[in-house]
Structure 1
């Protein structure tokens, strides 16, 4: 059985710069459909200095799910990455969603 954490990380590192995907899509691409919440918990436990592009993962409504300072941090990282993010944390999935294809 593949290790959940390793499979999630393997998908995460493939998300190209300037793109986002959803917690559910990360889970599905990693072979764990319907485990979006587990993906969120795993990403929430990453160290603050993690080099993994955790910030490229948003919810299925196209919104940043984080609150407070974490929200600001993710929004700034996405903006620096070339993703347009509205003040409320909304991202156009139509425009910026990664389809899972290798970059």
Structure 2
């Protein structure tokens, strides 16, 4: 059996993020087997979210903030809030409350 590529593992992980939870770019990279590849996770999201129907809005940065600007920020914020995830007045998601912490090893 052929081992999955990093990109395939990232896509699988993003698909697993449940509604009402978020994951960080770096956390996804680490779980996919390359803890230094947070930017690669962002690239996968950019290139694959629409065509693969990924829940891109559930991925934020390690500070608990939305990385997008302007309209992208507002769209992501609205999607998160629709799932019951709220940002504070400074635009931060409470990672202690909303960070997805899956049980299990790498896929």
After superposing the two structures, state which structure 1 stretch, 46-55 or 80-89, moved more. 46-55
1:40-59 → structure 2 map (5 Å cutoff): 40-46=42-48, 48=50, 50-59=52-61
Q: Structure 2: 5+ residue runs without aligned partners?
A: none
Q: CA deviation at 1:42?
A: 1.6
Q: Conserved in 2, the CA contact under 8 Å of 1:18 and 1:82?
A: yes
Could you say which residue in structure 1 is the equivalent of 2:27? 25
State the superposition RMSD in angstroms. 1.8
Structure 1: how far apart are the matches of 2:51 and 2:89? Answer: 25
Q: CA deviation at 1:88?
A: 4.1
Structure 1: how far apart are the matches of 2:55 and 2:85? Answer: 13
> 3-state DSSP class of the match of 1:45?
helix
Q: Structure 1: 5+ residue runs without aligned partners?
A: none
Could you say which residue in structure 2 is the equivalent of 1:74? 76
Q: 1:28 to 1:47 in 2, by over 3 A?
A: closer
State the 4+ residue runs in structure 1 displaced beyond 4 angstroms.
47-50
Q: CA deviation at 1:12?
A: 0.6
Q: CA deviation at 1:8?
A: 0.5
Identify the structure with the greater helix proportion.
2
Structure 2: how far apart are the matches of 1:48 and 1:34? Answer: 25
If the length of structure 2 is used for normalisation, what is the TM-score? 0.84
Q: Conserved in 1, the CA contact under 8 Å of 2:49 and 2:56?
A: no
Q: Conserved in 2, the CA contact under 8 Å of 1:29 and 1:100?
A: no
Which structure has the greater CA radius of gyration? 2
